[in-house]
Amino acid sequence: QVQLVESGGGLVQAGGSLTLSCAASGQTFSTYAMGWFRQAPGKERELVGRIRWYGGITGLTDSVKDRFTISKDNAKNAVYLQMNSLQPEDTGVYYCALQPIGRATYDYWGQGTQVTVSS
């Protein structure tokens, strides 16, 4: 089993920055990738970015790729989402998720952290 705990959300003005953290514990040795998702009010959850656990290859959705950075620290079993130039449309609950090796889905999810960007 794997446990994921996000932190770092909050209220920020447009143009501001936040860094989200996700701490993983348990059987993390079988991690293929970690992803950051977000869900805005009234909208479906969307993938914001992902990072491969071994190799560090990253990918970010077009709407954030020039403003957000995803990184990891294998020694700490942690993944981060640095968010700059935040806009009101970035508001939502942000979740980290883990995709195990050999699986096509994210099988483990954190509880989410709220990000609110005021205009």
Task: Report pLDDT digits (tens) over 88-113.
Answer: 999 999 999 999 999 999 999 999 99
Maximum Cα interatomic distance, the chain, rounded to a whole number of Å: 42
- CA dist 37 and 51 (Å) reads 12
Compare 102 and 27 and report the one with higher pLDDT.
102
Q: Is 65 buried (19+), middle (13-18) or exposed (0-12) by CB count in 10 A?
A: middle
pLDDT at 28 over 90: no
Encode pLDDT of 29-72 as tens digits: 889 999 999 999 999 999 999 999 988 889 999 999 999 999 99
